[in-house]
């Protein structure tokens, strides 16, 4: 989660813990990085930190790079997993990771009949943190229950205040490099994991939604020098799901010129709330328009209410029923079948 105000995925109409920090004129006049600084430090006293994150039993993290990571950056400190207990989503805390410098992938196998489809999941977090459960492991629980292999990518987010800053491509290549590498790895090992190499998609939230768009438009050439045979595989997703994406909108309601949509961009699903206070709904609108102009199959769902950063957690708001919409869409484009 991210957006036009740095790492304000903490600002959400369903998150009341820090509402007073960003209401009124304050969040308008604060710069993105200043806002992010104060939000992160406000949470230090409200949250519980642990040294590292581990996936649930039965799943193992795998490093995606066999040696040194490309374009390595300084890191603010050791990787930390923080439980946010004072900013609840659907009445529950959530966990985010910071200072991620060693990217990993965790493969979650289908819990029912295997459809052959796989999805690489990009959690949000403003390219500063990763909402690892809300927009990561909980997504994999849903996908695997539908017979879809889920690959959770812990991409690099080295931390705030570092130079060059972590962020979206081309400001920073790190996250996109990790995403390209991971899709290639999934395709390279598809047979042994019973995955159809032509049914590998990407799904992301907020900053992860931007990473979905970047992967959908930057796949002809890797940003890094190939390290093994997996990098000879295509890293083009076969389908893409972007939920409340950011970084797609620039001034005058136009698409970010760094996103180069073509007729080779994969079929795409978009979803956003019109009252999103972090990433304006026009992020989805301008991307939708570009996809339509390029002849790319696209389905978009907009809701009047929903805010930002709701993940898969159900509330009384209709927008939180979006997983069923994605399931129907995947059937429509032939990626899964009942």
Give tens-digit pLDDT for 4-48. Answer: 323 333 333 333 233 322 222 222 223 333 333 333 434 444 566
CA pair distance 85, 50, nearest whole angstrom: 13
- The yes-or-no verdict on residue 160 having pLDDT over 90 is no
Q: Which residue has the higher pLDDT, 33 or 266?
A: 266
User: For position 77, what pLDDT does the model report?
Assistant: 85
In order, the DSSP letters of 112-150 are SS--S-EEEEE--STTTEEETIIIIIHHHHHHHHTT-EE
Per-residue pLDDT band for 165 (boundaries 50, 70, 90) equals low
User: For position 315, what pLDDT does the model report?
Assistant: 95
User: For position 13, what pLDDT does the model report?
Assistant: 34
CATH topology of domain 8-332: Rossmann fold (3.40.50)
- The yes-or-no verdict on residue 303 having pLDDT over 50 is yes
Listed residue (263, 162, 161, 270) closest to 213, CA to CA: 270
Q: Which range (54-63, 254-263, 311-320) has the least confidence?
A: 54-63
CA pair distance 152, 136, nearest whole angstrom: 6
Helix and strand totals (H; E) in the chain: 8, 14
- The yes-or-no verdict on residue 194 having pLDDT over 70 is yes
46, burial (CB in 10 Å: exposed 0-12, middle 13-18, buried 19+): middle
CA angle 106, 93, 317 (to 5 degrees): 95
In order, the DSSP letters of 140-189 are HHHHHHTT-EEEEEE--B--TT-SSPP-STTT--HHHHHHHHHHHHHHHT
Task: Please give the average per-residue pLDDT across 171-182, as a whole number.
Answer: 96
User: For position 58, what pLDDT does the model report?
Assistant: 76
Listed residue (243, 235, 71) closest to 169, CA to CA: 71
* Residue-wise pLDDT tens digits, 55-98: 887 788 999 999 999 999 888 789 999 999 888 999 999 999 99
CA pair distance 61, 53, nearest whole angstrom: 10
330, burial (CB in 10 Å: exposed 0-12, middle 13-18, buried 19+): buried
Taking the domains of the chain in order of start, what are their residue ranges?
8-332
Mean pLDDT, the chain, whole residue set: 86
- The yes-or-no verdict on residue 246 having pLDDT over 90 is yes
Give the distance between the most distant pair of CA atoms in the chain: 55
* Helix residue ranges per DSSP H, the chain: 19-22, 26-29, 32-44, 138-145, 174-188, 207-217, 282-293, 322-332
Whether this prediction's pTM lies above 0.85 is answered by: yes
């Amino acid at each position: 989660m991210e957006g036009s105000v740095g790492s304000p995925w903490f600002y959400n109409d369903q998150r009341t813990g820090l509402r007073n920090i960003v209401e009124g004129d304050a969040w308008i006049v604060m710069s993105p990085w200043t806002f992010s600084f104060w939000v992160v430090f406000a949470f230090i006293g409200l949250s519980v930190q642990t040294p590292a994150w581990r996936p649930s039993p039965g799943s193992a993290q795998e490093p995606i790079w066999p040696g040194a990571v490309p374009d390595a950056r300084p890191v603010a400190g050791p990787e930390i997993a923080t439980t946010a207990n004072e900013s609840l989503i659907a009445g529950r805390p959530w966990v985010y990771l910071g200072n991620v410098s060693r990217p990993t992938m965790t493969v979650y196998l289908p819990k029912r009949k295997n459809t052959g489809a796989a999805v690489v999941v990009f959690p949000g977090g403003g390219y500063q943190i990763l909402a690892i459960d809300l927009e990561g492991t909980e997504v994999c629980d849903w996908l695997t229950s539908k017979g879809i292999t889920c690959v959770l990518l812990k991409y690099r987010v080295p931390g705030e205040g570092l130079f060059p800053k972590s962020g979206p491509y081309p400001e920073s290549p790190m996250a996109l490099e990790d995403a390209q590498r991971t899709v290639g790895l999934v395709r390279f090992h598809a047979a042994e994991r019973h995955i159809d190499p032509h049914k590998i998609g990407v799904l992301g939230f907020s900053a992860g939604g931007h990473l979905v768009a970047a992967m959908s438009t930057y796949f002809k050439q890797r940003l890094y020098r190939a390290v093994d045979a997996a990098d000879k595989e295509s890293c083009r997703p076969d389908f893409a799901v972007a939920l409340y994406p950011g970084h797609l909108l620039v001034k005058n309601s136009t698409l970010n010129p760094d996103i180069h949509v073509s007729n080779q961009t994969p079929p795409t699903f978009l979803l956003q709330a019109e009252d999103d206070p972090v990433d304006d709904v026009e992020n989805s609108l301008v991307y939708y328009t570009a996809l339509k102009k390029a002849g790319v199959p696209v389905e978009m769902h907009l809701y009047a209410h929903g805010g930002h950063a709701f993940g898969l957690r159900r509330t009384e708001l209709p927008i939180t029923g979006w997983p069923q919409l994605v399931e129907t869409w995947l059937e429509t484009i032939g990626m899964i079948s009942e």
